[in-house]
Chains A and B, each alone.
Chain A
Amino acid sequence: MNPTHQNSLVRTILQQKILIIFLLPAIILTFIFSYVPMFGLVIAFQDYKILKGFFHSDFIGLANFREFFHTPDFYDALENTIFINLICLVIVFPLPIIFAVMLNELVSAKLKKTIQTITYLPYFISWVVVGGLFYKLLESETGVVNVLLGYMGVENITFFRDPEYFWAIIIFATIWKGIGWNSILYLSAINSIDPHLYEAAEVDGANRFQRMFHITLPGIMGTAAFLFILTAGSIMNGSGGAGGSLAPNFEAFWNFRNALVSSKSDVLDIYVYQQGVQGAHYSYATAIGIFQSIMSLGLLFLTNSMIKKWRGEALF
């Protein structure tokens, strides 16, 4: 690098010193809390001891991975994770689309706004509170659901003591909490559809249903495909966060589960927490985390290529 170049670089840095200072906190925080943990993934290949640290723990290759592949508890958690998320992908995923399309059919703008305000609210309520509400509503004998069932002559149901109800409960709670909020992207997609299309269709004599099926739905298919890929990509971690997919996450499971229903409620994220944090098997749990990430990435690419074949375009 010649001196003039160096000078101009120094000059640029001096000129932009405020911009650089403005960026420093963000860069430092990102490095410490995002990049350092990424390097921390090496402990999956170690027999990590927290007192020895990253640098002094012994490397043991793939032993941690072999261990969980031979553990029955891991397979139980894997099974719960896959089934709950598949149900969500098939049954829950289309609901915000239906919600948005139906909301769009409402004639009154004021009513539309009121419904949006009400249905977005549960998104802002913590899973602790949602768990508390559902335990109360579904309580044996005294909960309002059992009271209503009693009027209809149905015998008392012990919802939170019987594992067979758990999936239905947590999936319903996920819908309750997220259906409104998850329709936002579809609503903005509908709003960006050219109004001339509707007018032209009306002139051609298309009725309301035909306009809904031939204009509104195709207009949001791109958004739907995009979100479907992200949701399918998060089947393994139940993270429920990626791209705002509508599936229960760790916080949901933790606040809904109890010891009596653990056979149906304990997904991989719960297993990782129990093994890693509660059991201090750091390396073992990290290895499972890596397994989840790799599977997620695989699913992401798989769904992406399937969507691409079908629609001609996809996420990447």
Chain B
Amino acid sequence: MAQRLKFSWFDISIGTIFIFVCFLTIYPFLYAMAYSFSNGKSVMLQRVVFWPIDFTLENYRTVFINNTIISAFMVSVIKTVTGTLLSLAVIATAAYSVSKKHLIAKKYILLFIVIPMYVGGGLLPFYITIYHLGLMNNFLVYILPGAFSGLFMFLVKVYYESLPSEVEESAKIDGAGDLRVFLMIFIPLSTPVYATVALFVGVGQWNAWFDAMLFMNNAKLHPLQFLLQNILREAEVTTFAQVAALSSPGAVKQTSVETLRMATLMVATFPILFIYPFFQKYFIKGIALGAVKG
């Protein structure tokens, strides 16, 4: 026993490997952050490695006064909030129904939900379906198609089934219907699993760009991730730089296309970095539960 408390060469080498892995994980963010705080002209002469070169806030200032970026940011916020709330509502209610043993035709309903988890029509039939539904260039295309998820429904169902049934039974005896039981008993008790689902749906919404590329020609409704993709890939960056030059002539001296790109990238990433620590404890719990029971 005394032997195990000492650190062997094995512990030290594993520790070293993990420190290296963690460093490799974090470093790209640090690098982009250092770039985003660097003077755009100076980075052409010196190389960023760890720290910003000629620290400046001018890149962020330029990003935050750019109307295109602000409106894309708002589109992302709105679709993340509405999409997450809609998903939670659809998933939480459906999970309540399928968690009841006596549900009518339960076997067939579950089969109906499980099949699409394994087979699908693929990209083109989906694309054409959206077209014929008239959802092209419609904000709803961001939130409706992914609003329900069988996987998350089963996660919530398993959680509901783990709740003690006595409270529900006594409420039912007192004459409470399913609606009351759901609203007054299940919702308050299910915060951890709702938080888990909200995190995944919310992050998915925030990070999504492919739906915009497929279905949204209206540039005013492009989310930040899609705009960022364009900014990173040249297309919009020249106009971006021009707008920056017009809006604050002094700033141009301290910014460049590259530093502005990294500042936009960080703005698109900060919300995730910010909420991650808060949700982290929930999802480890939620996923562990789902993995054990499911």
Question: Which residues of A does B touch, CB under 8 Å?
Answer: 12-13, 16, 18-20, 22-23, 25-27, 29-30, 32-41, 43, 48, 50, 53, 102-103, 105-107, 111, 114-122, 124-129, 131-137, 142, 144, 147, 176, 179-180, 184-185, 188, 192, 208, 250-251, 254-255, 269, 272-273, 276-277, 282, 285-286, 289-290, 292-293
Contacts and interface: CB of A to CB of B under 8 A. Distances in A.
B98 A18 contact: no
Contact of B22 (A35, A115, A286, A292): A115
A144 B109 contact: no
B116 A34 contact: yes
Contact of A23 (B94, B147, B150, B207): B94
Given A26-B113, A29-B148, A192-B292, 6 more contacts: A106-B11, A119-B22, A128-B209, A132-B32, A135-B232, A272-B122
Interface of B: 4, 7, 10-11, 14-15, 17-18, 21-22, 24-26, 28-29, 31-32, 35, 43-44, 47-49, 89-91, 93-94, 96-98, 100, 102-104, 109, 112-113, 116, 119-129, 131-133, 144-145, 147-148, 150, 153, 177-179, 182, 203, 206-210, 214, 225-226, 228-229, 232, 258, 261-262, 265, 268-269, 272-273, 276-277, 280, 284, 287-288, 291-292
A40 B179 contact: no
B144 A102 contact: no
A126 B269 CA distance: 8
Contacts of B25: 118-119, 121-122, 176, 180
Nearest to B264: A132
A102 B120 CA distance: 37
Given A33-B126, A121-B276, A128-B228, A22 B14 contact: no
Nearest to A105: B14
A29 B49 contact: no
A142 B47 contact: yes
Most buried by A among B28, B32, B144, B228: B28
B32 to A, nearest CB: 6
- The A interface is mostly helix, strand or loop, or mixed, namely helix
B148 A188 contact: no
- The B interface is mostly helix, strand or loop, or mixed, namely helix
B34 to A, nearest CB: 10
B268 A128 contact: yes
A125 B272 contact: yes
